[in-house]
Structure 1
Amino acid sequence: MTGLSSSPVVDGTPRNHGLGPRAAAVLVFGTSAAVLVVEIVALRLLAPYLGLTLETSTLVIGIALTAIAVGSWLGGRAADQVNPRRLIGPSLGLSGAVVALTPAVLRTTAQWAPELLLLIASLTILVPGALLAAVTPIVTKLRLTSLAETGTVVGRLSGVGTFGAIVGTVLTGFVLVSRLPVSGILIGLGTLLVVGSALVEWRTRGWSRTPALTLMVAVGGLATMVAPGGCDTETRYHCATVVADPDRDSGRTLVLDGVRHSYVDIDDPTFLEFKYVRAVASVVDSAFPEGEPLAAHHVGGGGLTFPRYLAAARPGTRSLVSEIDSGVLRIDHDQLGLTSQGGIHVRAEDGRLGLRRLDTASRDLVVGDAFGGVSVPWHLTTVEAMADVRRVLDEDGLYVANLIDHGRLAFARAEVATLSATFKHVSLLGEPGDIGLDPTATSEGGNLVVLASDRPVDLRATQKALDARKTGWKIATGADLTSWIGDAQLLTDDYAPVDQLLQPYSTG
């Protein structure tokens, strides 16, 4: 950091630069980048507790923008009233300390005081964001020498700050998250900010709290080692943990962002723990001749539970899996001992793009089981996406999808309506109270399985299979299903408010 000097003022106009042009650019670039790093990483920290939904993203972005606005305003006012040289170091140092403590604070709050999570999360974004945003007007004040160059200075530093934000965004999304744990990113950023604070203070010699801030960063690093909510693996999309089943030696549960996504029996692929997986197996086993090999495509992989089941129950089955998270696939291989064998081939790709790559009428079965948190990614729910599913199925092909919804089940109704507009035959499997077959039961929501095809399926055989697997589920079809759907809207690429329809635990 070079170029810091005194800046005497006469008639309100500084005569000498208070900050060299390179140092000014570095400060504005770095602090602007840091704000975006904090914003993006905050989304990943909150996902296990709030879900990775549009609402969560909107909340974090809104708080970050508020921090930038508040920081810019207060930073400008402070720079007019206090020697600006004495403001930069404290802004960097305090923000660095808060950033380094954020992982431990958020995870501990989520574990022990979840009702305070939103407040604490807001503060961990707002405080460092505002302190970092304040640096730009402070630096601008130091760089101004006359009113004649105001436009040039402000425009240049604004451009540098925007470029820094872009670099921070790209670096975090494409590099840091895929290579470092979230806690490591924030502790590293906090360390850099405190180091920057120390360099500034060394030049200005106006502040002596750097050792205390360094201690806070160290405490943040140590606290993350004992804070609850850690991950076995942090992938690009999830906080992932593999949990052993205490009641079954070979049982493993893949937990993604705090949600049990897959149960795998390493020794027995025909053992199906989750009720919805047993329902999917019941549909497939009753719709196709016993033991007949299938050409299947799976949108979403998780622990590869159902592809493994098909490989064992129907030898010769070819299953192609589209799983967007390559980190999950590494967990499948390294921790669950699952490989692309037995006719199972996996691709790290988006499910919608994976469907487009398939030939027309090339599949007997398509299974939809892709989730971001507890929500099906919206672009996999639309009329256009279902048209692609129908295209890749042969004339006797079957589409089976896992849905999760609560409250009024508005999303599930919309998705079933969308499928009904695409396929000739649609049925819904679930708890009787959830699918309208038992008006005396309370609808609690959870997993539902929807079945769609252009040929009729023997639903009596399906119900018999559901009963044999002790699911307790029933099947809604025909007039019962039409009544259950009601006036639900179709989901399209132009209009698919999945996150708004999917309101967990809502009633009304």
Structure 2
Amino acid sequence: MLSAVGLTYEIAAGRVLAPFFGTSLLTWTTVIATVLGGFSLGSALGGIVAERPRDAALRATRGALVGTAVLMAASPTLLGLLHNWGARGTQGMMLSVFLVFFPASVLVTLPSPLLAKLAMEARPGREGSSLGFVLAAGSVGAIVGAILAGFVTLPLIGSTATFATCGVLTLLCLPFLRGGPPDNRVVTLAAAGFVGFAGLAGTPACEFESGLSCLDIARKGPEIFLVSDGTVQAAERSAPQELGHGSVPLALGYTDWLWSRMAHDLGPAPSVLFIGGGGYTLPTKLLAARPDARAVAVEIDPLVTDVVRSHMPRASAMIDAAGYDASDSGSAAGRLGIVHDDGRVYLNETETRFDAVVMDAFSSGSVPAHLVTRETFARLRDIVDGPVYVNLLDAPDGPLARGVHAILTELYPHVVVAQGPVSERNRTNVLFAAAAQPLDAPVDQPEGYGPVRISDARAFTDDRGWVGHR
């Protein structure tokens, strides 16, 4: 059971980290290295504990289990406190991961050597097979924990409750440590009460959570924002009544830039592929402005679509009026096809041709690495006859923008690049339009957006790709 708890805890750690520091190769590497480091130290210390007299060893092991339960249940709160105290950037992420997740990782594995010793003592003369069974049980438990976290607890009850569940399961191991001095029932009951309180009263990481997304809805005057892992992914603005029901005002500057390009570059009846549904604002704008246009939006997480339909009225109305399930190639009962799948998988499998594509997919605050490779854009060139539009979040002339720019200039003879206002975190929207035909300057440029020069760099590939935004 402790192995299952340990793996569940590790996966939940990567999930709960996303609203504060995003999800990337760097965050997952840090989590895995930290937790495995804790497991290693816990096993070493547990070996020392196992050599103590039986009563002392059992007392220390029970204390480790209680400490594990409390620390696991408190992990989301501790992470939030460190973030509020100023933990930022790569260094802040690494420090937070170590302080929050390392201690519990040490304690959860501390009982393992004693349990292995007890198993071997129970079968004199068959110590080898007893140890083998213990190690095998640990591996099976780890598998169960990984499945439990990814397919059950995180999608169904969220990360905060998953940490509390880890604490509960840890405390349930106490009755199996028979013999030795009796438990300190006051401490055990206090720990159980804390774990229960953390699970029931703890603040959820976000309003809406699945195994893929951690979403919030924020409102500011007439604007509704869809926030994913702490980063604004989309926004919708109510239209003045005199503009009429068919008007779809855009609330974010980068969507204004993309729409300006699309309105200038595309004909009256384009077929446009959107990789990343987000708030469905651009598909809604396209279909409202061009009655003969068609769109397919590929969104990996059905929760995003559900939240949009519940909280973003204009996009919801368009989905209700024109939406259909485009995953069934034989069905096209509307103008807005919706596919719940990974964008790269869809690109690899689709036989549909499009007049243009908008690449606007994000995981937390950055683009998934497999969507910004030479192979991805080469596939787009095969199925898209017209322009390719790309939205990135990066530092000015940052490594992500440079890598994507290298890909586009390699595959397309005409590439236009623009940059938006730079935030306090030194991040900005970097926007690309690439095509086989010349691209004139768009008629309208949103305030704060203008052309920008991107430095030369190595093009990302499937083998050597983007490692994640820091």
Regarding TM over 0.5, the answer is yes
Question: Shift of residue 493 of structure 1?
Answer: 1.1
Determine if contact 1:86/1:204 at 8 Å carries over to the other structure: no
Question: Could you say which residue in structure 2 is the equivalent of 1:506?
Answer: none
Question: Could you say which residue in structure 2 is the equivalent of 1:452?
Answer: 434
Q: Alignment partner of 1:341: what SS? A: helix
Q: Alignment partner of 1:465: what SS? A: coil
Determine if contact 2:419/2:431 at 8 Å carries over to the other structure: yes
Change (3 A) 1:225 1:253: farther
Question: Could you say which residue in structure 1 is the equivalent of 2:321?
Answer: 341
Residues of 1 paired with 2:301 and 2:108: CA distance? 32
Residues of 2 paired with 1:327 and 1:214: CA distance? 37
Query: Quick one: which amino acid aligns to residue 256 of structure 2?
Result: R
Residues 327-369 of structure 1: CA deviation (Å, up to 9, x unaligned): 1111112233423533222111000111223325x10110000
Query: Quick one: which amino acid aligns to residue 70 of structure 1?
Result: L
Query: Quick one: which amino acid aligns to residue 270 of structure 1?
Result: V
Question: Shift of residue 443 of structure 1?
Answer: 12
Q: 1:400 aligns with which of 380, 389, 397?
A: 389
Change (3 A) 1:34 1:226: closer
Q: How does 1:72-471 map to 2 (within 5 A)?
A: 72-83=43-54, 84-112=57-85, 114=87, 118-145=94-121, 148-197=125-174, 199-200=175-176, 203-204=178-179, 206-222=181-197, 230-245=205-220, 247-248=221-222, 251-265=223-237, 270-289=248-267, 292-337=268-313, 338=316, 339=319, 341-342=321-322, 343-359=335-351, 362-394=353-385, 397-406=386-395, 408-431=397-420, 444-459=426-441, 462=442, 464-466=443-445, 470-471=446-447
Residues 110-153 of structure 1: CA deviation (Å, up to 9, x unaligned): 23453677545423322222222122211111122378433212
Residues of 1 paired with 2:292 and 2:142: CA distance? 51
Q: Alignment partner of 2:132: what SS? A: helix
Q: Alignment partner of 2:152: what SS? A: helix
Query: Quick one: which amino acid aligns to residue 376 of structure 2?
Result: A
Question: Shift of residue 288 of structure 1?
Answer: 2.1
Question: Could you say which residue in structure 2 is the equivalent of 1:492?
Answer: 461
Question: Shift of residue 177 of structure 1?
Answer: 1.4
Determine if contact 1:322/1:348 at 8 Å carries over to the other structure: yes
Question: Shift of residue 387 of structure 1?
Answer: 0.9
Determine if contact 2:164/2:198 at 8 Å carries over to the other structure: no
Determine if contact 1:106/1:117 at 8 Å carries over to the other structure: no
Residues of 1 paired with 2:94 and 2:321: CA distance? 44
Determine if contact 1:323/1:348 at 8 Å carries over to the other structure: yes
Q: Alignment partner of 1:472: what SS? A: coil
Query: Quick one: which amino acid aligns to residue 264 of structure 1?
Result: E
Residues of 1 paired with 2:207 and 2:236: CA distance? 17
Question: Could you say which residue in structure 1 is the equivalent of 2:330?
Answer: none
Query: Quick one: which amino acid aligns to residue 374 of structure 1?
Result: G
Change (3 A) 1:167 1:496: same
Residue ranges of structure 2 left out of the alignment (5+ in a row): 240-244, 323-334
Determine if contact 2:72/2:164 at 8 Å carries over to the other structure: yes
Determine if contact 1:94/1:128 at 8 Å carries over to the other structure: yes
Between the aligned residues of both structures, percent identity stands at 27
Change (3 A) 1:314 1:213: farther
Change (3 A) 1:124 1:206: farther
Determine if contact 2:359/2:389 at 8 Å carries over to the other structure: yes
Q: How does 1:21-36 map to 2 (within 5 A)?
A: 30-36=1-7
Residues of 2 paired with 1:270 and 1:151: CA distance? 70
Q: 1:54 aligns with which of 25, 28, 38?
A: 25
Determine if contact 2:69/2:191 at 8 Å carries over to the other structure: no
Query: Quick one: which amino acid aligns to residue 231 of structure 2?
Result: V
Residues of 2 paired with 1:451 and 1:277: CA distance? 13
Change (3 A) 1:493 1:118: closer
Residues 213-245 of structure 1: CA deviation (Å, up to 9, x unaligned): 433343354456776674111122222110122
Residues of 2 paired with 1:432 and 1:141: CA distance? 62
Are 1:63 and 2:34 counterparts? yes
Determine if contact 1:89/1:200 at 8 Å carries over to the other structure: no
Residues 270-313 of structure 1: CA deviation (Å, up to 9, x unaligned): 21111111100011011124xx1221111001111111111111
TM-score (norm 1): 0.81
Residues 182-221 of structure 1: CA deviation (Å, up to 9, x unaligned): 1111112212222322x236x4362433443433343354
Determine if contact 2:70/2:194 at 8 Å carries over to the other structure: no
Residues of 2 paired with 1:260 and 1:443: CA distance? 14
State the superposition RMSD in angstroms.
2.6
